[in-house]
Structure 1
Amino acid sequence: MTTSLPEPSLPLSFLDLVAVREGGTVADALAISLRTARHAEALGFSRYWLAEHHNMAGIASSATAVLVGHIAGGTSTIRVGSGGVMLPNHAPLVVAEAFGTLAELFPGRIDLGLGRAPGTDGLTMRALRRDRVEREEDFPRDVAELQQLLAPAEPGQRLIAMPGAGTRVPIWLLGSSLFSARLAAERGLPYAFASHFAPRLLLQAVDLYRTHFRPSEQLAEPYVIIGVPLIAAPTDEEAEYLASSTFQRVLGILRGDRRRLQPPKENFMAGLSAEERAGIAEFLGAAVIGGPDTVRDGLARLVAATGADEVMLVSDVFDADLRLRCLDIAAAVRP
């Protein structure tokens, strides 16, 4: 008699913006990030990614490759990567050398997620890129160049990433529109949709990616990660209270008034206009906020709707201990 094995649990990962909390320092934020990564690793999370943002008061993840090395060096098994490096801000050779070095330091553990947004405001974008003007065709070309630089060097190849050549660091394409979904499908690359802040095109993008996917040397079948804002607590009521830190952050983005991550406030949403509440709700359309049963049901609904292969959680909980508790709950109730 044969015994059927249970279906494997949904892979969970974590995206960290390295939030600087009100009353805290950048050093505090970096320490919390490493502590969170170690906790996620202990819970069996698949990967831990850092997001590139610049000139934002409450986010300390601008030097993304440096942070990837810091987190990888402080953990032992979890994959660590960028979610993502904003490729228009960097020459492909520089990215290949940085992530090639990381791959040599931490073999088999480094991911390279790429985005095409600036990850900042116009003034900072110009400071990063100097006089470079980005065109639509540049991103696909730069991705192709980066793939070549990370592949084994060909005979006679004059431009070689050292380190980088031959490391084959896995490349992921990230996006919140249909552009990267289509490019990921054409190139046979894994795809991560930024539904943690722009969920509107989630279903359409995932469907387009799967429909047009072409197998590649890196990937035989389509693979999709979806970003999910998570606030979990023992009760729905406590989760809603803790989520007010996230609501404040989103409202600041909508108003153009970015600040450090704020502590939670009772009845925060009640004091907002209907338009502001609607804006926050749209931004957090893929959020899962609640107690264990609510979290289980919310994750299950998202996976059923999208067919996601993996869920990447984002959790802006002010109290670092309670953020770790969020991860505990998610790991315990994952579909």
Structure 2
Amino acid sequence: MSQNILQNTKFSVLDLVPIPQGKQHIEAIENSLDLAQHAEKYGYNRFWVSEHHNMESIVSSATVVLLGYLAQGTSTIRIGSGGVMLPNHAPLIVAEQFGTLATLYPNRIDLGLGRAPGTDQLTAQALRRGKQESVQDFPNDIEELQQYFSIENQDSKVRAIPGEGLDIPIYLLGSSTFSAQLAAEKGLPYAFASHFAPAQLFNALNLYAEGFKASEENKTPYPMACVNVIAAETDEEAQRLATSLYQFAMGIITNTRRPLPPPIDSMDGVWSMEQEAMIKNMMYFTFIGSKNTIASELSKFVESTGVKEIIAVSHIYNHEARLKSYKILSDIFSETTA
């Protein structure tokens, strides 16, 4: 299959800021900045960080603080949230925080929004102070946030300063059809979390495309998809690196989340047949292999989904190997463009 379909597809990074086993929190954060700097050099479009709480394996809980650190250490790549879990925060606080970021780093800040808690239910209760979310809370909170960003809000008694009147693009994130329909209704870009929840991908993208209503900011739909990518010089090397991701996923399905483990020669004896099936189903859109292998498989994915941007997340234990993986992926896109 021709790989020319990738030439009009943007490519970006999602970083969960994972903690490699045996490393300190500061090393994970410094690795994230180093990755962002390399992604900028490699030509990636944007670098997003996701909000997670109460996880030994991830240090992205203070997402906005990390975004400021990353933006300060880079100069051209877009920096944003993939995403801020809006029900955990008052819309006014989010508007002020991202207004501050956009003031410090003009035309570089993205605001991706999700409605999941990004954690377990007990921690979600601690974050939300017992607030019970209704179906309409998320749509209403988005409207409130958009109002704070609007220049028309200058006559309001409650204002986001800074934030008011700034151009801060909003993206809706989701793993089901709810946010797809909401993004279509509001005329917003939509990013699907197919890296861990593949089941509703095609249904969500179809609903988004069919229901999209043009907005002042977005005249046409802008579908995006996040996928796992583990690239190496050979398919065999990539498959070995992928065992870190599989072990990481084991922690998710067994609720025993630990720092990202080093790769092993084989998962035989580590997971059962049922666990293997569950993990490979959950990680269905995972692209593992050499440059040629990944280029071929990603081309098929983009052709079948019609997404305009691929957001790659790479759970690779060794930082240099992770940089190498992102370099190989960037080469795939740059070569098809050339």
TM over 0.5: yes
Aligned partners of 2:6 and 2:261: how far apart in 1? Answer: 40
1:230 matched to which residue of 2? 229
Preserved CA contact (<8 Å) 1:244 1:269:
no
Residue in 2 that maps onto 1:3: none
Partner SS state of residue 79, structure 2: strand
Q: What letter corresponds to residue 319 of structure 1 in structure 2?
A: N
Is 2:246 the partner of 1:272?
A: no
CA contact (8 A) 2:6 2:302 kept: no
The CA distance in 1 between the partners of 2:9 and 2:174, in whole Å, is 22
Counterpart position of 1:77: 76
Contact kept, 8 Å, 2:175 with 2:192, in 1: the verdict is: yes
The Cα of 1:131 is off from its aligned counterpart by: 2.0
Deviation at 1:269, TM superposition (A): 4.5
Contact 1:269 1:277 in 2 (8 A): no
Q: 2:110 corresponds to which residue? A: 111
Aligned mates of 1:100, 1:49 — CA distance in 2: 17
Question: Cα distance, 1:217 vs. partner?
Answer: 1.0
For the 8 Å contact 1:153–1:160, the answer to whether it is kept is no
- Residue of structure 1 equivalent to 2:246: 247
Deviation at 1:122, TM superposition (A): 1.1
Contact 2:13 2:46 in 1 (8 A): yes
**1:37-90: per-residue Cα shift (whole Å, max 9, x none)?**
000000110000000000000100000111111101100000000000000000
AA partner of residue 194 (structure 2): S
Q: Distance in 2 between matches of 1:196 and 1:228?
A: 4
The one-letter code matched in structure 2 to 1:115 is G
Change in CA separation of 1:331 and 1:7 when aligned onto 2, cut-off 3 Å: closer
Whole-angstrom distance in 2 between the partners of 1:278 and 1:66: 37
Partner of 2:60: 61
Q: Partner residue of 1:200? A: 199
User: What do residues 95-134 of structure 1 show as CA deviations (whole Å, max 9, x unaligned)?
Assistant: 0000000000000000000000000011111110002111
Asked whether 1:287 is paired with 2:272, we answer: no
**Cα shift at 1:272:** 2.0
Write the mapping of 1:1-335 to structure 2, written as runs, cut at 5 A. Answer: 8-154=7-153, 156-269=155-268, 271-334=270-333
**Which range moved further: 156-165 or 102-111?**
156-165
Alpha-carbon spacing, 1:154–1:58, altered in 2? closer, same or farther (3 Å): closer
Report deviation, 1:270.
5.5
Aligned-partner Cα distance in 1 for 2:155–2:38: 46
- Alpha-carbon distance, 1:155 to partner: 5.6
The SS at the match of 1:226 is strand
1:153 CA displacement: 3.5
Give the structure, 1 or 2, with the largest relative contact order (CA under 8 Å, sep 6 or more).
Answer: 2
Runs of 5+ consecutive residues of structure 2 not aligned to the other structure:
none
3-state SS of paired residue (1:153) = helix
Distance 2:52 2:6 in 1: 37
Q: Secondary structure at the match of 2:39?
A: helix
Q: Equivalent residue of 1:217, what SS?
A: coil
| Aligned equivalents of 2:279, 2:110: Cα separation in 1 | 31
Q: Deviations over 1:128-182 (max 9, x none)?
A: 0002111111000000000111111346311110111111310000000000000
Q: For the structure 1 residues 155 and 53, does the alpha-carbon distance in structure 2 shift closer, same or farther, using more than 3 Å as the test?
A: closer
In structure 1, what is the Cα distance between the partners aligned to 2:268 and 2:109? 39
* Aligned partners of 1:191 and 1:224 also within 8 Å: yes
> 1:7 Cα shift?
8.5
Matched residue SS, 2:224 = strand
Tell me the distance in 1 between the aligned counterparts of 2:201 and 2:189.
15
Q: Confirm or deny: 8 A CA contact 2:147 2:153 kept in the other structure.
A: no
Alpha-carbon contact 1:245-1:317 (below 8 Å) kept: yes
The 10-residue stretch of structure 1 (161-170 or 101-110) with the greater mean CA deviation from structure 2: 161-170
Alignment size in residue pairs: 330
Residues 30 and 303 of structure 1: is their aligned pair in 2 closer, same or farther, counting only changes over 3 Å? Answer: same
Q: In structure 2, how many angstroms separate the alpha carbons of the residues matched to 1:108 and 1:324? A: 26
Q: Percent identity?
A: 49
Structure 1, unmatched stretches of 5+, are 1-5
Q: Whole-Å Cα distance in 2 between the matches of residues 149 and 282 of structure 1?
A: 41
Any idea what SS the aligned residue of 1:165 has? Answer: coil
Cα separation, 2, equivalents of 1:10 and 1:154: 36
SS of corresponding position for 1:112: strand
Structure-2 separation of matches of 1:111 and 1:105: 13
For residue 160 of structure 1, what is the amino acid of its counterpart? R
